Structure formats: structure tokens, C-alpha cells
């Protein structure tokens, strides 16, 4: 696996701008074109999707992925809903935004983020047609 980075991830499929959203440390493929997060591989879409900038390699669902904003304006456009903070990334997030405590009106801690096996997706992307 490549480098790791704290990122904002929002599911766009069927939700508009108020889909489930997370802040977590993700890992990248060697090329940087694929993000590994919560058991998924999200591949950058260079030709813009309907609302996302990444798509799930298995389901095709679109996601909006971006760096975490220090001002807390992570939701894409005018979206609403609490953002899930990966418990394993909480200290990184608080340090990033310069706070000591989590604002529970905007964020909720989640404990169910799964590890991702990049090898599984490498094989999907590189199988012969």
C-alpha cells in the first residue's frame, strides 16, 4: 500500500449532497489513482461523474473524496447530516482542525471502518478480458 492521508469521503449515489460521509485515514495505490477505504477501492474518475469524483470499483457507486477542511466545511455543496469520524483517525482529525474535542453537533465517532486488502482490487483491475 502507498501513502496514507486523512480524507473526507461522501457517498453520492442515490443521496445527492446528504449521503453518508466519513473522515478517515485512507491509503492510496502506487499511482495515486485509487483510494482504499472501508473495504472498498475508489478509483478517480477523470471525466467527471454525475456528482462524484471517484467510483467504487465493485459497485460503480460515485463518491466525493477530498482533503479535510480545517473550517469544517467538508460536506459537498449544501449537504446535511453528521459526518462519521473513524475512531482510529480522531486524534489526527482534532489535530488537523486545531481542536481538543469533537463537535458532536456535526460529527459522530464510528468504530466499524474495515481494513481494505488492496491485492483483491489489484486482481480485479488487472484481470484479462
Question: Model confidence over 107-116: pLDDT tens digits?
Answer: 999 999 998 8
Cell numbers that stand for 22 in this block: 466519513
pLDDT digits (tens, 9 = 90+) for 32-74: 899 999 999 999 998 766 788 999 999 999 999 999 999 888 8
Torsion, CA 129, CA 29, CA 52, CA 105, rounded to 10 = 140
Q: Alpha-carbon distance 129 to 122, whole Å?
A: 14
* Res 53: pLDDT: 92
Kindly list the distances between the CA atom of residue 102 and the CA atoms of 5, 17, 90, 97, in Å, as whole numbers in the listed order: 19, 22, 8, 10
Q: How far apart are CA 5 and CA 109, in angstroms?
A: 18
Distance CA 73, CA 69 (A): 6
3-state secondary structure of 67: strand
* Number of other CB atoms surrounding residue 59 within 10 Å: 9
Question: What is the rounded average pLDDT for all residues in the chain?
Answer: 89
The residue that leads in pLDDT, 9 or 72, is 9
**pTM for this prediction:** 0.88
The grid cell for 25 is: 485515514
Amino acid at each position: 500500500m502507498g501513502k496514507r492521508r486523512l480524507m473526507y469521503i461522501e457517498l453520492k449515489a442515490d443521496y445527492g449532497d446528504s449521503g453518508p460521509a466519513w473522515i478517515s485515514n485512507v491509503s492510496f495505490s502506487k499511482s495515486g489513482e485509487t483510494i482504499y477505504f472501508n473495504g472498498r477501492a475508489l478509483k478517480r474518475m477523470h471525466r467527471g461523474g454525475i456528482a462524484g469524483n471517484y467510483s467504487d470499483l465493485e459497485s460503480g457507486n460515485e463518491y466525493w473524496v477530498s482533503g479535510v477542511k480545517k473550517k469544517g466545511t467538508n460536506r459537498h455543496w449544501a449537504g446535511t447530516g453528521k459526518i462519521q469520524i473513524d475512531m482510529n483517525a480522531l486524534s489526527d482529525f482534532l489535530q488537523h482542525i486545531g481542536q481538543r474535542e469533537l463537535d458532536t453537533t456535526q460529527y459522530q465517532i464510528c468504530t466499524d471502518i474495515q481494513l481494505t486488502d488492496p491485492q483483491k482490487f489489484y486482481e480485479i483491475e488487472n484481470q484479462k478480458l
